[in-house]
Amino acid sequence: MKKFALHAVATVALLAFSHPASSTDVFRLEGYGAVSRGLGGAATAVDVGAPGMMTNPATLSLIKEGASVHLGLDMVNTDIDVRNQATGEVVSSNSHSHNRGPYVAPEAAFVYRRGALALGVGAFAQGGLGTEYGNSSFLSRATGALESGLENSSRLLVLSIPFAVSYAVDERLTIGGSLDAVWQGLNLELLLGADQVGSLIGSGRASGSLIGVLAGLPDLRGAHFSLTRDQPLNSGVDAWGFGGRVGLTYKATDATLLGVAYTLEASMEDMKGRATLTAVDGAAGQIPLNGRIKLRDFKMPAHVDFGVSHRIDSRWLVAADISRVFWRHAMKDINVGFVADGGIGNIDILLPQGYRDQTVLSVGMAYGVDNWTWRGGFRIASQALRSETLFAVIPAIPRKHLSAGLSYNFPAGSRIDVAYSHAFKQSMSNSTLPNTSDPISISHSQNNMSLAYVLPF
């Protein structure tokens, strides 16, 4: 009953949902809401409205008194190319199906502040990833240049539903916290060549009774995993869990605000669903095995955020955040377990990832005059992914962004926020088993647009 209720909340919150947002800081969005996005993602020590509960819930005490509704929309257009360095072939991630790109994800929130107390509840896309390479590129060729006609694609969506509270202890100090319901879903189409399968077995990263079944085929060329639902919200595997964060702000001077927040690593159930494991054989053809699959211990990382904002005068404001994201603990391996129907057998695979912890700097400036506020910012992050474990279907490598935004306050009190950010092209290569068979080079850039409407009442 609890899981049904949470599904209902998510469905209502994402009623207009069409595709997941593709992330920029690995799987995380580079700021929540158009105000933060326009400031380069800064949000720890500045009023960014209702989406502030996703970074530092204590900033809810900075909003105006009364109640308001926040309705927003994120739109992401990616540009991803994968080059086979041995042959020179290039494949681009495009909309080969209705399942992916361009990516759109709405957000909604309600906040209320009266006196020292502020409350908020919302639904936000926390991050995700999407690729679509089709079924006719070199990524769909098994060992020995055997054309398989099988898809290579991915779609990850992470949705957070925070329940937040903030309390102003005195004129200088506010404290806040949130408890989040977290849902994540994954679609994946992935072909592993026979050399990749052999590398996984040889390094002790693949085990189970299906290993013998695959080894017994006359001319094994590869194995393909398919776990996809071609639907807006449902995914091949999904799971619920919980997370949360705590934070505070401190008014150092009348013009300077400091902030700090800590977001917990999400505690997630294993993502479960149905899948097909297809053995690709040069003599026997393709042998599909249907069964149950789970992805174990897949979760969003903990992170700590430090922020400062300073009001230069009545018109100018500067803000900056520095964050440390603990990917190393959260993303060591992609842990896959598959059990074929009918007791045929099972296979467990550990696909190496070994992400590094990541440092992110966000800096923004705002200028307000009359009913308008103009914003600009930049964001730069250290690289969390390792080249030797890079997957074509998980090219989460951009790390430099430039952003701009504006807000307009209508005379009746409502407001519209707009922001644009550009992720500069980042490239990375991998020629190492088991995550690639061919030597590949990936380039990834993207353009993000964020819109929001705030209605007080």
User: What is the average pLDDT across 30-34?
Assistant: 95
User: What is the average pLDDT across 118-141?
Assistant: 94
From CA 302, how far away is CA 296, in angstroms rounded?
18
| pTM of the shown model | 0.92
Q: How confident is the model at residue 234 (pLDDT cuts 50, 70, 90)?
A: confident
Question: Across the strands, what pairs with 139?
Answer: none
3-state secondary structure of 240: strand
Q: In this structure, are strands 271-281 and 237-251 parallel, antiparallel, or unpaired?
A: antiparallel
Tokens of 304: 């700590």
pLDDT at 96: 57
- The domains located in the chain, with CATH, are 2-456 (2.40.160.60)
Look-up of token digits 């300077």: 256
User: What is the average pLDDT across 357-365?
Assistant: 98
Q: Which residues, 6+ apart, have CB-to-CB distance to 12 below 8 Å?
A: none
**Contact at 8 Å (CB) between 59 and 50?**
no
| Model pLDDT for residues 104-125, shown as the tens digit of each residue | 788 999 999 999 999 999 999 9
Q: How confident is the model at residue 77 (pLDDT cuts 50, 70, 90)?
A: confident
pLDDT at 101: 55
Which of 20, 10, 24 lies closest to 239, judged by CA?
A: 10
Q: How confident is the model at residue 240 (pLDDT cuts 50, 70, 90)?
A: very high
Tokens of 318: 């500067």
What is the share, in percent, of the chain residues with pLDDT greater than 90? 88
pLDDT at 76: 86
Instruction: Report which secondary-structure segment, H or E, holds 193.
Output: strand 173-193
| Model pLDDT for residues 54-70, shown as the tens digit of each residue | 999 999 999 999 999 99
Q: How confident is the model at residue 230 (pLDDT cuts 50, 70, 90)?
A: confident
Give Dmax over CA atoms of the chain in angstroms.
76
Query: Mean pLDDT over all residues of the chain?
Result: 92
User: What is the average pLDDT across 376-398?
Assistant: 96
3-state secondary structure of 390: coil
